[in-house]
Homo-oligomer: A and B are copies of this chain.
Amino acid sequence: MKKDSRAQITRKESWREYFLLSLESPAIAQDAQPGQFLMVRASVDTHPLLRRPFSIFSAEGKSVEIFFQKVGLGTRLLSEKQEGDTIDIIGPLGTGFTVEKEIKGKHSALIGGGRGIAPLYFLSQKLKAHGGTARVFYGGKSVEDLPVRERFEKSGTTLSCATEDGSFGTRGLITEAFEAELNNGFTVSRIYACGPELMLKKIAEITAALNIPAELSLESVMGCGFGACWGCVKRIRKGQEPGWHKICEEGPVLKAEDIIWELGNNE
């Protein structure tokens, strides 16, 4: 975990409300693991006050990428940054996806909804590097919400898309597309997912029924990102004890069975 107050934006891509920034930050790039995140400072002086968390989209050589959707003031300010500007980041943070040695030769499904696709590209690369195969399920409201699908295609990853309005891929939710594949005999030994809570809960149900190990990346309001504020807790099991645990340390990636889906917690 390092602070880099002058990470330079070396490349910026944008699609309507989605943005992909490449940041030069060798020390952070070197340590990064899929599923980990950065805390990015987007404020002008004192407002908005807190850093914003973003998953690491990729880490290679001296660079890390982040992929984000413009939803409020912080992401708007970040979207206005230009190539050559520097930004202040802390990372890599949190506990990412586990990729065990036994993944070799095994098949994984990676399911991303909307901006939830962010951590899955990096993961897909790592799975391949470890000799596993990955199929990515990528869903959104409309074709415009699937901007990074070409990155997956270019890297040779099998990609299945779904849009709610049917403008690309199958029509409907990505979880429906995934379930349909399972019913068609598609088998996987491991599932990884990131996206809206309702999507994650649905995946938890599906995988629990089928007894497939699943890891889910959660979101939470984060005050610091490195364990100091106790602001990001959700009710999860850690060992035997269910309790309010810090998502920035125990997560953001958790085993599906460790998440307690209860009102005011994860819904």
Contact = CB atoms under 8 A, between A and B. Distances in A.
A77 B44 CA distance: 9
Interface string A45-78: 1111000000000000000000000000100010
Q: State the oligomeric state as a number of copies.
A: 2
Contact of A48 (B45, B48, B73, B77): B45
B44 A73 contact: yes
A77 to B, nearest CB: 7
A73 B47 contact: no
Interface string A27-44: 000000000000000001
Please classify how large the interface on chain A is, using the bins under 10, 10 to 19, 20 to 34, 35 or more: under 10
Interface residue SS majority, chain A: mixed
A128 to B, nearest CB: 42
Contacts of A47: 44-47
A133 B45 CA distance: 46
Nearest to A44: B44
Contacts of A46: 47
A73 B46 CA distance: 11
Nearest to A49: B47
A73 B45 CA distance: 8
A47 to B, nearest CB: 4
Contacts of A45: 47-48, 73
A47 B77 CA distance: 13
A128 B267 CA distance: 71
A111 to B, nearest CB: 35
A44 B46 CA distance: 10
Nearest to A73: B45
Nearest to A47: B47
Interface in A62-100: 73, 77
A48 B77 CA distance: 15
A49 to B, nearest CB: 10
A143 B48 CA distance: 39
Contacts of A73: 44-45
A77 B45 CA distance: 11
Interface string A137-166: 000000000000000000000000000000
9 contacts: A44-B44, A44-B47, A44-B73, A44-B77, A45-B47, A45-B48, A45-B73, A46-B47, A47-B47
Interface of A: 44-48, 73, 77
Given A45-B48, A46-B47, 7 more contacts: A44-B44, A44-B47, A44-B73, A44-B77, A45-B47, A45-B73, A47-B47
